Chain A
Amino acid sequence: MSSAVVGGSPTPILRDIYNADKHRKPPTKSFPEWMKENPVHPAAEETQIPTEHEIAQFRKPLRHNVCVELLSEGFHRSFAQMFVLLQRWDGAEEHPHKLHTLQQHLTHAETAEREGQYGEAYDNHMLLARFFTEPEDEWLKHHFLQLALDSARKFKMDSGKREAESNLHMGQVYLQKSQLERAQEHYEVFYHLTLGRTWQDPSGRMHHSRSCEELQKVFTLLGQRLLQEQDYVHAIKMFTKAYEMAKESGDRGSEGEAAYRLGLAYQSAGDQKTAKQFFSVCMEISTTLENTDSLGGTYEAIAKSLESEGKLTEATEFLERFAEISLKSKQDRNLEKASMCLGNILSLRKQYDGAYEHFGRAYEIACNLVSARLQKAQVCAGSARALSMMQAYHRLIETPGRQKIDRIISWKKRRNDTLSAPLEEEMKR
């Protein structure tokens, strides 16, 4: 029997009961000896039964577990904040790492607050604000920036540097939300705090100049809004403030821009003289900085003021300067604008030839640029040409004469500019 089993046969399915010795386990010892060999560790036994905590991790939603953890460690303020956030936040379950980060930092912030270490609380809030970078989490970021501001306000040790920084951030938040008045409030606080201090950004930029820049932005936006509502007095006030801010920040470029806008505001209000003052300031700055774009714009604006004052010759002068500059810097669009303006002025003064020249130039550029103003240029050019020919044409029609009629007919056929030529013939006569 055993030889049959041993000799090269496949593994038996059933255990061999006749040769059980080969497969038998070592003889079972008595129970006490076995217990000694395998002592039951009380700790091991307990871990096999899941604790309530572990069960809850499975059964309850994540938000429940996070809240309960916060509370059982005694962080009831963190719990309150988390609860309020979770009520507004629908996608909380899908981002466990966000919830855990929130939990961690909120608890740190609360411990810090309890000990009165508002600086640390501020740091934790800022960390959280920086953590939420996705566009759908914008409101979370704003929330934590607000909290950071609150804790910075309570922190007195660094003479307000953190408060200043958090005011800057809050101002940016409100700017993003287009709530300009609140942004202005925060930026003004920032400005007053940084007045006279040499605090710097991590990138090395002075806080004070930053405050001036931001305030200028806000004032400009406010001023533009007021202009739209046609509240000229207040708009001018806003733009003046913006200009002062720009001057204080020391950035010549923005100073020039601010001067330009202020000038425009005065222009829309109708006060051309003050407008011209500011435009000349802007002109100076642009020339120093060699910014042809703004220079051209300034020339145009000055010309407009002069035009509305009725000083057409000077206006023409400035417009020619504008055209020159645009030509030099090869800015075709501006050149087109300039030519159109020049043409307009000259037609007003009945100098139709000159007007036709400029309109013709504008028309060419408009063709090249495929501009929307093509039709306007066409019309103006055409009308200037017609008006310039008008005089000669009238002369030919008024007094009858065979040659004049010939001339008219040939002109009609060939559309050449030969209408002015008859003058020579008449002179010969």
Chain B
Amino acid sequence: MSATINPLANPKAVKKLCELCQKPAKLQCTKCLVTFYCNSDHQQTDWTSIHEKVCPLLVSIHTPAPFSTLQSDRDHHHKETLKKQKHLLEIAHLEAQRWVSKKRFQEVLPAAVQFLRWAMQVYGSCAVELVPAYLLLAQANIGLGSLSQAHEYLSKAEWTVMKTPGCGNTVLHQLHRTLGRLHAATGKYASALTHFANDVYYASEVFGLASTVTSGGYFLMADVFLKQNKPDVAHSLYTEVANSWHAHLCKMTDGISQSGTQPEECFDESQCVEADQMLRCILEFEEQCVKPHPDQSAMLAHSLAMLWLLCNNYTKALEYGKKAEMLIQGLSEQNKLRESIHNLLQHAEKHLE
């Protein structure tokens, strides 16, 4: 896996630096031979985070360009390299996002740093494509608690956005969301709310008012309102989030049941985890509420069941389905909801057999 190298043995003016900390490197990865680390801890972190996935790809990128006499050959090689680099940075991006949604912030850092480095190589140092990398790094740092570092990354992101006036509302919404998270973590609730407000506005422009992305923004705002001790506002926002997720999931389940096929990649893992956390949080809040709204809790349980069904986890789907059924028995109306819960339970039980 790793071979020790002696920095003194390197050719003149060649300095091998550690991937993570940029100190003189003592270890070399034997699989790809182009990645270096200063100690085995760093190597282990990098391996779990991203190196496992990109190790084979790095070799082809680091090989020097073959000598070719024709300009077209050289251009072709250049294009090929660019394609490989883009592929690499996409992998890094997805990995980093996965770790963020699982809230394993320590593992985000190597992946996000790789992403940033490759993006800088491909797009240049002031391109708007770097902004997602900065945002991921900032989010990881907020999660880890190093808020000044997060602030630094976010300032860079803001500067990049300001330098690109036509950058598009998606980037703006993501930026404001992370800025909101930072301000909420530091305790500046008013500015956090302003940033989340901007986030929701841009997200509505791009995705529409009832989209799940916008409701993510509403969820974060509700958190801040709770910290500001305004539970009624938070409750109303949570209702909004619950409704939009429920509608979205119902539509997907109906689409699946109509076409009859197995749900293929409706959600990737990170989205599933995030949605699950969000819905569970709201469900807990509802249960702690002074005035219980059983129809709301039933709807939330139903949404959770549908979510797990779509992710092919039938045990959990069954669990939440049964909870939903129990909650809805207290109510006289809601026939449609009852029907859907019943269908869902049947579907889950059938698959478990």
Contact = CB atoms under 8 A, between A and B. Distances in A.
A53 B221 CA distance: 18
Contacts of A74: 193, 221, 225, 230, 233, 236-237
Chain B interface bracket (under 10, 10 to 19, 20 to 34, 35 or more): 20 to 34
Interface string B230-245: 1011001100100000
B204 interface: yes
**Chain A interface: which size bin?**
10 to 19
Nearest to A67: B201
Given A52-B191, A74-B225, A68 B197 contact: yes
B153 interface: no
Given A74-B225, A114-B232, A67 B209 contact: no
Majority SS at the chain A contact face: helix
A214 B139 CA distance: 62
A67 B236 contact: no
Given A52-B194, A71-B196, A114-B232, A76 B240 contact: yes
A77 B240 CA distance: 9
Interface string B196-229: 1110110010000100000000100100010000
Interface string A39-82: 00000000000001100000000001001111110101101100
B255 to A, nearest CB: 25
Interface in A233-268: none
Nearest to B205: A83
Interface string B272-311: 0000000000000000000000000000000000000000
A67 B197 contact: yes
Interface in A71-121: 71-72, 74, 76-77, 79-80, 83-84, 114
A69 B201 CA distance: 11
Contact of B218 (A53, A68, A69, A76): A76
Which among A68, A70, A74, A77 has the highest number of chain B CB atoms within 10 Å?
A74
Contact of B200 (A69, A77, A79): A79
A77 to B, nearest CB: 7
B236 A68 contact: no
Contacts of B209: 80, 83-84
B101 to A, nearest CB: 24
Contacts of A80: 209
A84 B198 CA distance: 16
A53 B201 contact: no
Contact of A71 (B191, B200, B232): B200
B197 A53 contact: no
Given A71-B200, A74-B193, A83-B201, 10 more contacts: A52-B191, A52-B194, A68-B194, A70-B197, A71-B196, A74-B230, A74-B236, A83-B209, A114-B232, A114-B236
Interface of A: 52-53, 64, 67-72, 74, 76-77, 79-80, 83-84, 114
30 contacts: A53-B194, A64-B201, A67-B197, A67-B201, A68-B194, A68-B198, A69-B197, A71-B193, A71-B196, A71-B200, A71-B201, A71-B221, A72-B194, A72-B196, A72-B197, A74-B221, A74-B225, A74-B233, A74-B236, A74-B237, A76-B236, A76-B237, A76-B240, A77-B236, A77-B240, A80-B209, A83-B209, A84-B209, A114-B232, A114-B233
